[in-house]
A = this chain, B = another copy of it.
């Protein structure tokens, strides 16, 4: 148990979600440099930190603007003074279109669409704002999530946007699976060719994902990238080969509350802190102090420690430090991040866009 762990327990209690700002700043600088070198703008996704404070840090380091997944996140960012916001989501429904219109009055907004239904609703927001709304066509190149499936559909939707009063066609939103960049290039080339025939230009060609940082610059025609997790990193990013343990800025400090059996224990970080999101990995986090221990199950307030493979074993009351599998969902569970620099507590950052799913 380190002196810092002891201080965190005394000041904040456990489980505590703790971020090292030295590591944050290094991550922000490194990825900005990667984007600069690749000749693409950086438009970080705020879903990871959900904090205007950290978004401003990214902007100050050279980011062009920010990406939000939901209107509620964008509203929080705009209220804090962020501008040039891409909402990478289909916005539907009278209520949301009204909110989008109000948001457009305050800041520059670009939104995504992958259907005629979405496109046909968006002029209502533009009318409320009295401004033209920039729309990118979301394209799917293998994620099978949102996004039109063919270049032909992408071009048709681009034309529809361009022909719709109040809207302007801004480009393409992509989220290539890390192993499908060649296919994504084929898709983009075909869509771009289709655009030329219509006299349209994709001003924005946006790619996403921290795991895709390994492919930055690989897509000819890309203008910007939307990495999120890189600011904190986690076991998923380590598994993807885009971060090392030294790049992991966020960890969960948890207390061992039970050692009922010799080969097992319980920490006070369960699924309400680490989340059940496995991120495709075995175990629910890396226990830095006991790397041979495994968190092999979670209930809401209990993390189940399997100590059978670990000669060193913690005692009840000991505070351990855990790197989560997936940081974005961990941040969404807390109202504040405790901030440190090295072995010193700095303060707290409120997670102002926590839970903004609407």
Chain A residues within CB distance 8 Å of chain B: 9-16, 47, 69-70, 89-90, 92-96, 114-115, 117-118, 121, 140, 144-149, 255, 257-261, 264, 266, 268-273, 275-278, 299-302, 304, 315-317, 328-329, 332-335, 355, 357-358
Contacts and interface: CB of A to CB of B under 8 A. Distances in A.
Contact of A92 (B93, B144, B317): B317
Contact of A357 (B15, B299, B317): B15
Given A15-B358, A145-B258, A146-B260, 12 more contacts: A9-B93, A10-B94, A89-B257, A114-B258, A117-B316, A118-B316, A144-B304, A145-B299, A146-B302, A272-B329, A276-B277, A333-B355
B264 A144 contact: yes
B12 A257 contact: no
Nearest to A93: B9
Contacts of A11: 95
Contact of A13 (B261, B333, B358): B358
B89 A140 contact: no
Given A13-B93, A278-B276, A328-B300, A259 B115 contact: yes
A95 B10 contact: yes
A266 B145 contact: yes
A339 to B, nearest CB: 17
Contacts of A276: 275-278, 329
Nearest to A258: B146
